Homo-oligomer: A and B are copies of this chain.
Amino acid sequence: MNKFVYMFSEGNGTMRELLGGKGANLAEMSNLGLPVPQGFTITTEVCTKYYNEGQVLSDDVKKQIFSSLAKLEKLTGKKFGDNKNPLLVSVRSGARASMPGMMDTILNLGLNDEVVEVVAKLTNNPRFAYDSYRRFIQMFSDVVMGLSKKRFEKIIDEMKDKKGVKLDTELNADDLKELVKLFKAFYKQEKGVDFPQDPTEQLMEAILAVFRSWDNERAIYYRRMNNIPSSWGTAVNVQSMVFGNMGDDCGTGVAFTRDPATGENQLYGEYLMNAQGEDVVAGVRTPSSIQDLAEQNPAVFKQFNEICKILEDHYNDMQDMEFTIEKGKLYMLQTRNGKRTANAALRIAIDFVKEGRWTEQEALMKIEPAHIDALLHPQFDADELKTKNKEGHDIASGLAAAPGAACGKAYLTAEKAIAKAQAGEKVVIVRLETSPEDIEGMAVSQGVLTARGGRTSHAAVVARGMGACCVAGCNDLIVDEENGCFTLNGKIFKEGDVISFDGNTGKIYDCAIKTVEPKISGDFDVVMKWADKYRALHVRTNADTPKDAAKAVEFGAEGIGLCRTEHMFFEADRIMAVREMIVSKTVEGRKAALAKILPMQRGDFEGIYKAMEGRPVTIRFLDPPLHEFLPHTDEEMAELAKDMGLTFEEIKETVTSLHEFNPMLGHRGCRLSITYPEIAEMQTRAVIEAAINVNKEKKWNIIPEIMIPLVGEVKELAFVKNVVDQTAKTVMKEKGVEIKYLVGTMIEVPRAALTADEIAKQAEFFSFGTNDLTQTTFAFSRDDAGKFLEDYYAQKIFENDPFARVDQIGVGRLVKMAAKLGRETRKDIHLGVCGEHGGDPSSVEFFHNAGLDYVSCSPYRVPLARLAAAQANIANPRK
């Protein structure tokens, strides 16, 4: 028979997968001889079994629980329901990965009408006994029976009113005894049965409740955010209670071996005397600093310090611990590697290396890539955020699409945002979705909030590129542009109202929250240098302007992997020429319009080449369908007609004829250059002329990389490549200069991956466009999938957003297939990724393992990608 339950003495710290983090560490501390209240752990396997078997515990599991309970009773000399020495236990979740606060916990289990009296007598403290009992009823009713805690709080409030007191602590033993009666009566009224008196029944129900809580909404959300598979399950820890609330020689607290905010090497934490754990968190009384314990109880403080040292040495990382003092005796209830701020993570890593505890590689593995990200963006003031959350100002949420924090007056159009920003307001922009015309408005905003679209929607991609915060796809947002207002979860806001939102969590607040600007310390540079030393994957950036390019170089980009030329087409002074080209009916007309764009486009490239200081630059030719450049309302069309000297009907006809049912699968990418080779000609001319000019001025040797998008068939590429080659030849002849350039393609259509051996005959490099490849491989529109993906998460069909984290099984298979086929044809073909996945750590790891040469991501993601690439290579070194 499988072993489903382990006494703490039977486990150890390596058994994290089976016992969960908490269980393994309790066992380990126990093995180290530290003072740990005894108990047992029900394994994570039982959780999986529980779900597989229709949410019940099998008889063999129950049997092992009962036998472990018997052992615990023997160890402690206490017994469930005993009228001399009753056993009370806590029942806590504990998954393999820490999921703080996501699952449920029950304390004081074992209390009933008789035991409470025994406890009152044994402790000579009836107030303590009844306070513990009422807490237990409340917690059990909430966690196990789904009766909201708040409804009990109401009964307490009524009692306090009656008694004319303000604080819970002002209620005396009799009051609490009365409260227990009221609680039980309420329970019976709601549930139709008495509150369970049998401790064993209480225990079994509590265990089931903890397993159930593995699948509550916030746990599912947390797992998705942190890439924790639902198959891992949680363990359940049953531990005999020790009490910090039995009197003034009792207390409880939490502490870190180093300062989790700064990383400074000194004990950090707080505690409360005569309190149970939840009081510390609840904030009714102000806890003392852990340092004060030195005075209050020097012996315990000394012992605790020693334990801290043992644990930090033993686990070789900064520890986060919970402890309780019961009648002057110290008990350790938990230890784990401590969560830390980004700055602390760097400081600790550097200190640990200096202290000889970690190698540089080990230190790199300890830093979370998300920390790097946080360092580069404004964040909400932590205390204020905590308060606003507690006060329920988080009235809606969307997808955390671009990191950072935004607070400002909300405006619904780019024009208004620009006007108000110029007038000195801090603004945020709120839209159904954004389009390329909104870019300038987005640039002046603190952040972007949209109702539609996912993590690779226009809003998300552009915001990330700008380093701006974005919350996208908020289903609870309704935008009423016409009336200048919007609603969030039913609450109406007018333009100019202040809102805040958090690009790290997706939460939206109906109030102002102070933001803190990022500060980059010297530690950042040290860590980034380490990362560069140990990574194999190169990191490029997606940048469309000299400004973005310069930013990316500052962040360590080694080149541009994706320069989207269409972004240049939208600028106010060019869009007219672009539209002129689109409405032209003849090649000559289009060429005339393109001739106007040429000098501007050439200037763009010159600027970008200069910003990149000779580093490689991959330029993607025009990609979006042409209708994206045209106006869509009758009013705008009329205006355009006037500007163009055409009739409204002519413009309308062009717009209508360009309309597409599925633009994602429409007339775009290389298909544009096949219909209108003159566009590719103009772009080639701009690329080559700019390179020649800058090479001449700077004495550099720029080798431009021209990238043809949306190729699915080698003949498409061959056609466009021929246009490029012919034009380049002409330009070089005109200029009397020969330069080298490369022509390659995006691999973003399944057929390109499937026929990559053929395509490599024409392509000198591949860049995986994993955004579009994800769309086509799944048949998911990134603009529409937001709606139904929520249902997929709820049903556990997906645990991750495939647009945020590359789908290794399907899309990944195509990537690996294409890499293999491409190299079969062209051994030295250069392989990169320029989809949004290039900035996601787990995807970076996948691309490293798939043997690609580089990833390319938005400038603000470059440092994160450098770290992730180093971690991938340390975990799985490339030969």
Binding site for B on A (CB under 8 A): 660-667, 671, 674-675, 710, 712-713, 715-716, 719, 748-751, 754-755, 758, 772, 775-781, 783-785, 787-788, 791-792, 795-798, 807, 809-811, 813-814
Q: How far is the CA of A814 from the CA of B749 in the complex (A)?
A: 13
Query: Measured between alpha carbons, how far is A674 from B663 in the docked complex, in Å?
Result: 26
Task: Please pick, from B665, B667, B778, the residue contacting A749 in the complex, using a CB distance under 8 A.
Answer: B778
Docked pose: A57 CA to B587 CA in angstroms:
31
10 A-B residue pairs with CB within 8 Å: A662-B784, A665-B665, A666-B781, A674-B797, A713-B798, A715-B795, A715-B797, A716-B797, A750-B810, A755-B809
Q: Apart from A715-B795, A751-B807, what are 6 other A-B pairs with CB-CB below 8 Å? A: A660-B783, A660-B784, A665-B784, A667-B784, A713-B798, A748-B779
| Complex CA–CA separation, A772 to B778 (angstroms) | 12
Given contacts A715-B796, A777-B751, A810-B750, contact A788 B671 (CB under 8 A): yes
Please tell me how many copies of the chain the complex holds: 2
Q: Are B810 and A755 in contact (CB-based, < 8 A)?
A: yes
Contact B661 A754 (CB under 8 A): no
Please judge, given known A-B contacts A788-B675, A795-B719, whether A661 and B781 are in contact too, CB under 8 Å.
yes
Contact B664 A754 (CB under 8 A): no
Question: Chain B residues near A748 (CB, 8 Å)?
Answer: 779
The answer to whether B719 and A781 touch across the interface, beta carbons within 8 angstroms, is no
Task: From known contacts A715-B797, A749-B777, infer whether A662 and B755 are also in contact, taking CB-CB under 8 Å.
Answer: no
A674 pairs with B791, CB closer than 8 A: yes
Report which residue of A754, A777, A792 has the largest number of chain B beta carbons within 10 angstroms of its beta carbon.
A754
Cβ–Cβ < 8 Å partners of A792 in chain B = 674, 716
Contact A751 B810 (CB under 8 A): yes
Contact A797 B662 (CB under 8 A): no
Instruction: Give min CB distance, A490 to chain B, whole Å.
Output: 14
Determine whether the beta carbon of A775 is less than 8 Å from that of B665. yes
Residues of chain B lying within 8 A (CB to CB) of residue A797: 674, 713, 715-716, 719
Bound: A780/B749 CA distance, A: 10
Residues in B with CB closer than 8 Å to A781 are 660-662, 664-666
Q: 5 tightest A-B contacts by CB?
A: A665-B781, A662-B781, A751-B810, A661-B783, A750-B750
Is A749's CB under 8 angstroms from B779's CB? yes
> Given the complex, which residues of B lie within 8 Å of A785, measured CB to CB?
665-666
A810 contact set on B, CB distance < 8 A: 712-713, 750-751, 754-755
Considering the chains assembled together, what is the distance between the CA atoms of A754 and B811 in angstroms?
9
Whether B661 lies near A663 (C-beta < 8 A) is yes
Q: How distant is the Cα of A162 from the Cα of B795 in the complex, in angstroms?
A: 89
How far in angstroms is the closest Cβ of chain B from A622? 14
Least CB distance, A767 to chain B, in whole angstroms: 16
Given A674-B788, A792-B674, A809-B755, A710–B779 Cβ distance below 8 Å? yes
With known contacts A662-B783, A665-B665, A788-B675, A750–B814 Cβ distance under 8 A: yes
The answer to whether B754 touches A777 (Cβ under 8 A) is yes
CB nearest to A716 among chain B residues:
B797
- Interface contact A674-B784, CB-CB below 8 Å: no
User: Complex formed: what's the CA distance from A710 to B788 in Å?
Assistant: 14
Q: Would you give the shortest CB distance from A289 to chain B, in whole angstroms?
A: 50
> Are B813 and A754 interface neighbours, CB within 8 A?
yes
Q: What are the residues of chain B within 8 A of A758 when measuring CB–CB? A: 809
Residues of B within 8 A of A783 (CB): 660-662
Give the residues in chain B near A776, CB-CB below 8 Å.
750, 776-777, 779
Are B665 and A780 in contact, with the CB atoms below 8 A? yes
Give Cα distance in the complex from A93 to B246, angstroms: 107
Chain B positions within 8 Å of A660 at CB level: 781, 783-784
| Complex interface: chain B residues within 8 A of A754 (CB) | 777, 809-810, 813-814
Least Cβ–Cβ distance between A454 and chain B, in angstroms: 12
**What's the minimum C-beta distance from A579 to chain B, rounded to whole angstroms?**
19
**B664, A665: Cβ atoms closer than 8 Å:** yes
Distance A754 CA – B808 CA, assembled complex (angstroms): 11
Please give the distance in Å from A436's CB to the nearest CB on chain B.
14
Chain B residues with CB under 8 A of A666: 781, 784-785
> Complex formed: what's the CA distance from A684 to B804 in Å?
35
Complex: A667 Cα to B661 Cα, angstroms:
15
CB distance from A48 to the nearest CB of B (A): 16
Please report the C-alpha to C-alpha distance between residue A243 and residue B610 in the assembled complex, in whole angstroms.
Answer: 75
- Identify the closest chain B residue to A710 (Cβ): B779
B675 and A779 within 8 A (CB): no
Name the B residues within 8 Å of A777 (CB-CB).
Answer: 712, 749-751, 754, 776
Nearest opposing residue in chain B for A809, CB measure: B755
B750 contacts A675, C-beta separation under 8 Å: no
Query: What is the distance, in angstroms, from A774's C-beta to the closest C-beta of chain B?
Result: 9
Q: How far is the CB of A749 from chain B (nearest CB, A)?
A: 4
Instruction: Specify which chain B residues have a CB less than 8 angstroms from the CB of A796 in the assembled complex.
Output: 715
Interface centre among A675, A758, A776, A809 (most CB of B within 10 A): A776
Cα distance, A775 to B778, chains bound together (Å): 12
Report A650 CB to chain B, min CB distance, Å: 13
Q: How far is the CA of A666 from the CA of B782 in the complex (A)?
A: 9
Question: A664 contacts which chain B residues (CB < 8 A)?
Answer: 661-662, 665, 779, 781
Point out which of A662, A779, A783 has the most chain B C-beta atoms below 10 A from its C-beta. A779
**Whole-angstrom CA separation of A578 from B136 in the bound complex:** 51
Set of chain B residues within 8 Å of A715, measured between Cβ atoms: 795-798
A784–B797 Cα gap in the complex (Å)?
31
